[in-house]
Amino acid sequence: MTVRRRNFLLSVAMTALAAAPGFGQAAPARDGTPIPDFSGMWSHPWLPGYEPLASGPTSLRNLSRRDGVSNPLQLVGDYNNPILKPETAATVKKFGEMSIAHYGFHNPRNQCWPNGLPFVLSSNGLEIFQQGDRITMIYQVDHQVRRVRMNAQHLAKVVPSYFGDSVGHWEGDTLVIDSTNFKRWSLDDWYYQDYKEYRMHSDAFHTIERIRYINDKTLSYNLTVDDPKIFSAPWSQEFTMTYKPEWE
């Protein structure tokens, strides 16, 4: 299938979805409170990369800096971050040394593999299609698709996937997405994601995303990652996304 035909079919599918009853309408929460509608295109530049939170268990800082910010051309994760168990820290250190030596290492993007969650969150360009019983997310990078079942339970039997089994619910004006059952080699972060050598999460890998409006053109996106077999504690990172109607 050609790229043009694939994009055409994707456009037809999204047009049909948009025409479905309830699309783009913020259905009320169970208590009758109106909920926000996140439908549309949202942007978060993936360079120079996320910075960790100022306090609490959080994602790794890139020790390689350029002009005061993370240097995306040299990924050297802070292996002293207390979220890392000893074996995890050793892998982060090893990959950082490879990057310093200009050897580099594989990651989903440079190997053209599905990014998985949460690696895909670094992509610049996310389109959200919101309906009452489901939310569909399409990432601009490689047209990767996620589906979130609203007000549902995790499936008892499910085939693990790159984006896991995602269920969502509303807590006031905040969309909460709980995901489990990831492929064992779905990849977690920039600093330890060599898919051939080390599966940097276990069958206990679990993510929670919290999305809310800061204002009518800006979303706050908070991610919490938990895997007690890999990390010493759950950790979080937070970033903002900007509404881009001109991209739609």
The model scores a pTM over 0.75: yes
Phi/psi at 224 (nearest 5 deg)?
Answer: -120, 130
Give the pLDDT score at 41. 95
Residues 67-81 as b/e (b if ≥16 CB within 10 A, e otherwise) read: eeebbeebbbbbbeb
Give the pLDDT score at 9. 44
Interval 118-138: pLDDT, tens: 878 877 899 999 988 999 999
How does residue 42 score in pLDDT terms, banded at 50, 70 and 90?
A: very high
What percentage of residues in the chain have a pLDDT greater than 90? Answer: 43
Cα 74 from Cα 97, distance rounded (Å): 10
Interval 59-113: pLDDT, tens: 989 999 999 988 888 888 899 999 999 988 998 898 889 889 986 677 776 777 7
CB 182 within 8 A of CB 203: no
